């Protein structure tokens, strides 16, 4: 958004609390887990999943000193796009239509929103001609490169790994068995190569897939460019180079609060945002593992036009409350003068539910034979191959292992609840050669285990909107208190049970799929273990589920919604010249992966702001 406004001819100051550090952990797609534990990039939040201490203590990932569950964020230029898994999947059309209905603003409807994806995307895995002929409606001139492995590359990759072949055969057989009608297994096995060929050709972001969202196998497009991470940081630097003097980036500046004009001087009764108060210095925020206690100075920055918060689902509500905008009781508790009593700030916090089912294979996956996940050309042959390859060579398959985020295949499914309600698929099940049980500090040591394979379950369209972000203190260097209030603690216990049952169904399906290999002695379930079934499985999911797509804590809504923080144009209620544009604006968490919807609303917000300036 900052880049768009600068390109349009306006002067933009971008204040970044972190630095702009960049190394192999940032650039190499396969190193994205390492980037979450890179002290030059990471911010460490510790959250609660439950208010109930007993339930909270059952999570094996909890911090043993009592701080909570580790929730990795990125404190660096580009935010969490510097450490995410780069998965680029368009949300469901129903997500946009729901926002349009909630806000009463038709500009949010699905038929209007696709253009913003086209402004973002520079698709490199399908041709413009084919896209035009088939009505794919991809973007080809955007700033974000998207890539997928070529069919011959993936086929070559799979052929060299017998264990991977067995796993993919199992998922293919199970997926075909789920189709209507009875098909003999012998015929199914014969169809496996064609099934995977179809999966390779099927495009999850093509408009046909978006409208129908058929269940089945998919490859996930990634935000990479020539096998290197692509993201917001590249866009910012490109605009700085092309538009000198218009986009100023100030790293290592922690914003403490928004400054509001005097209410008595406003004829409209609205409070005007006139600037921000900020602290200069590196590592000031206490989520930073290198946190320091002193700053270089406190500065006031005045805005000629607008102040726009893009601090994320934790920090945007924190900044509003530190500025005196939020629930009156919360502000008074921390001796913050109430500027605007806005009860919805920090409420409605949402996330996905995710769990990992881990299998120990009889033999190592030969795919990982040369992988040490080290940025050292002398000790890591896979890194050396990636490093020596040109972008075009990586697109042709050289250095493929490290040009990937590790996800081999994905399966879209509808839970029984989604089927009964005739809703979009709500389960995204994807496999990766690794041992991943969720986020806890030190988890990356397990990525080098060469005979473990994980199936991850991601539950989309979670029905719990009961989470909240509250202030820990009035010190802007403190992290806020964060409680997602999972499952039965949410605002609707019945909906919590529906989410839980969907997760149970997904785990059951994974076990059915892998039973072909466990029966043959080729695989053994080691997490949670085959004996965890029925109520024990439900209990395990409630204990171990996690998420990393925090959103919805400054929701947009209609004028008669007392809990809405923003209007449909991203403006903070009761103010002028103040907007929020980040994951916190959604009323309900959209799609499967949050980053693409965020990119799209940034494009929409840019258009809204520029239109308001010109009218």
CA distance 189 to 181: 16
pTM above 0.75, yes or no: yes
| DSSP letter string, 107-124 | GGSHHHHHHHHHHHEEE-
Residue 436 lies in a domain: no
According to the model, what pLDDT value does residue 214 have? 84
According to the model, what pLDDT value does residue 85 have? 98
CA distance 136 to 499: 32
In 3-state terms, what secondary structure has residue 39? coil
CA distance 476 to 496: 33
Domain CATH code at residue 282 = 3.50.50.60
* β-pairing verdict for 481-483 and 468-470: antiparallel
Instruction: Please say whether the beta carbons of 7 and 241 come within 8 A.
Output: no
Residue 332 lies in a domain: yes
Residue 208 lies in a domain: no
CA distance 342 to 349: 15
Is residue 526 packed enough to be buried (19+ CB in 10 Å), middle (13-18) or exposed (0-12)? middle
Residue bearing tokens 């206690």: 293
- Taking the alpha carbons of 78, 239, 608, 121 in that order, is the dihedral positive or negative? negative
What's the pLDDT tens digit per position in 475-488? 999 999 999 999 99
CA-closest candidate to residue 323, choices 306, 337, 304:
337
Residue 318 lies in a domain: yes
Residue 519 lies in a domain: no
How many helices (DSSP H) and strands (DSSP E) are in the chain? 21, 22
Backbone angles phi, psi at 46, to 5 degrees: -125, 120
Indicate the Cα dihedral angle 328, 329, 330, 336, nearest 10°. 60
Residue 506 lies in a domain: no
Residue 132 lies in a domain: no
Range of the domain at 254: 2-39+59-88+96-114+231-350+549-614
How many independent structural domains does the chain possess? 1
Contacts of 241 (CB under 8 A, 6+ apart): none
Tokens of 409: 């295949």
CA distance 418 to 267: 49
Cα–Cα separations (whole angstroms), residue 490 to 292, 427, 502, 565: 36, 20, 16, 20
* β-pairing verdict for 271-280 and 575-576: parallel
In 3-state terms, what secondary structure has residue 229? strand
CA distance 451 to 454: 10
CA distance 65 to 531: 30
According to the model, what pLDDT value does residue 389 have? 98
Contacts of 560 (CB under 8 A, 6+ apart): none
Other beta carbons less than 10 A from residue 472's beta carbon: 13
Contacts 24+ apart (CB under 8 A), 446-450: 447/33, 447/373, 448/368, 448/371, 448/372, 448/373, 450/364, 450/365, 450/368, 450/369, 450/371
CA distance 501 to 415: 8
Residue 158 lies in a domain: no
In 3-state terms, what secondary structure has residue 481? strand
Instruction: Please say whether the beta carbons of 219 and 149 come within 8 A.
Output: yes
* 217: β partners: 411
Tokens of 245: 């003097």
CA distance 398 to 393: 5
Tokens of 10: 């306006």
According to the model, what pLDDT value does residue 536 have? 99
Other beta carbons less than 10 A from residue 452's beta carbon: 23
Which residue numbers in the chain have pLDDT < 70? Answer: 179-185, 187-197, 199, 264-267
Indicate the Cα dihedral angle 596, 602, 607, 611, nearest 10°. 160
CA-closest candidate to residue 45, choices 277, 311, 430, 328:
311
CA distance 579 to 566: 8
Helix or strand holding residue 354 (H, E): strand 353-361
CA distance 205 to 225: 18
């Amino acid at each position: 958004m900052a880049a768009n406004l600068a390109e349009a001819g306006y002067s933009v100051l971008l204040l970044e609390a972190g630095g702009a550090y960049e190394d192999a952990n940032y650039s190499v797609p396969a190193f994205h887990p390492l980037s979450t534990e890179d002290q030059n990039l990471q911010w460490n939040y510790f959250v609660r999943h439950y208010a109930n201490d007993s339930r909270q203590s059952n999570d094996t990932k909890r911090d043993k000193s009592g701080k909570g569950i580790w929730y990795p964020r990125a404190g660096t230029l580009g935010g969490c796009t510097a450490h995410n898994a780069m998965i680029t999947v368009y949300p469901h059309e129903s997500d946009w239509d729901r926002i349009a209905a909630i806000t009463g603003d038709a500009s949010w409807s699905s038929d209007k929103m696709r253009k913003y994806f086209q402004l973002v995307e520079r698709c490199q895995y399908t041709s413009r001609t084919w896209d035009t002929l088939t009505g794919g409606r991809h973007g080809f001139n955007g700033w974000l490169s998207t890539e997928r492995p070529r069919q011959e590359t993936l086929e070559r990759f799979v052929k060299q790994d017998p264990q991977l072949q067995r796993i993919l055969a199992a998922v293919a057989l199970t997926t075909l068995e789920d189709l209507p009608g009875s098909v003999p297994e012998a015929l199914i096995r014969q169809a496996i190569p064609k099934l995977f060929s179809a999966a390779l050709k099927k495009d999850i972001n093509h408009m046909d897939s978006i409208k129908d969202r058929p269940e089945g196998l998919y490859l996930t497009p990634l935000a990479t460019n020539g096998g290197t991470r692509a993201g917001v940081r590249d866009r910012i630097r490109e605009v700085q180079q092309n538009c000198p003097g218009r986009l100023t980036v100030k790293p290592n500046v922690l914003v403490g609060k928004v400054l509001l004009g005097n209410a008595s001087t406003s004829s409209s009764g609205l409070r005007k945002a006139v600037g921000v108060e900020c602290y200069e210095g590196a590592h000031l925020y206490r989520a930073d593992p290198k946190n320091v206690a002193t700053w270089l100075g406190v500065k006031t920055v005045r805005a000629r036009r607008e102040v726009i918060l893009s601090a994320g689902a934790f920090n945007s509500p924190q900044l509003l409350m530190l500025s005196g905008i939020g629930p009156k009781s919360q502000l008074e508790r921390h001796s913050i003068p109430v500027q605007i009593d806005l009860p919805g700030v920090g409420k409605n916090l949402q996330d996905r539910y995710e769990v990992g089912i881990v299998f120990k294979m009889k033999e190592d996956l030969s795919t990982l034979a040369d992988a040490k996940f080290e940025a050292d050309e002398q000790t890591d042959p896979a890194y050396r191959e990636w490093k020596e390859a040109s972008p075009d060579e990586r697109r042709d398959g050289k250095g493929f292992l490290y040009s990937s985020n590790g996800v081999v295949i994905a399966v879209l499914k509808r839970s029984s609840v989604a089927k009964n309600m005739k809703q979009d698929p709500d389960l995204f099940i994807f496999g990766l050669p690794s041992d991943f049980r969720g986020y806890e500090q030190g988890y990356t040591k397990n990525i080098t285990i060469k005979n473990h394979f994980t199936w991850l379950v991601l539950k989309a369209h979670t029905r719990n909107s009961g989470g909240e972000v509250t202030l820990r203190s009035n010190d802007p260097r403190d992290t806020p208190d964060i409680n997602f209030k999972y499952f039965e603690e949410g605002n609707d216990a019945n909906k919590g049970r529906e989410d839980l049952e969907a997760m149970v169904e997904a785990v059951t399906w994974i076990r059915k799929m892998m039973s072909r290999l466990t029966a043959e002695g080729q695989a053994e379930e080691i997490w949670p273990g085959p004996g965890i079934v029925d109520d024990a499985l439900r209990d395990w999911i409630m204990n171990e589920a996690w998420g990393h797509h925090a959103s919805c804590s400054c929701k947009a809504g209609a004028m008669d919604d007392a809990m809405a923080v923003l209007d449909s144009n991203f403006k903070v209620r009761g103010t002028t010249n103040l907007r929020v544009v980040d994951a916190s604006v959604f009323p309900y968490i959209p799609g499967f992966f949050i980053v693409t919807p965020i990119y799209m609303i940034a494009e929409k917000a840019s258009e809204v702001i520029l239109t308001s300036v010109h009218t």
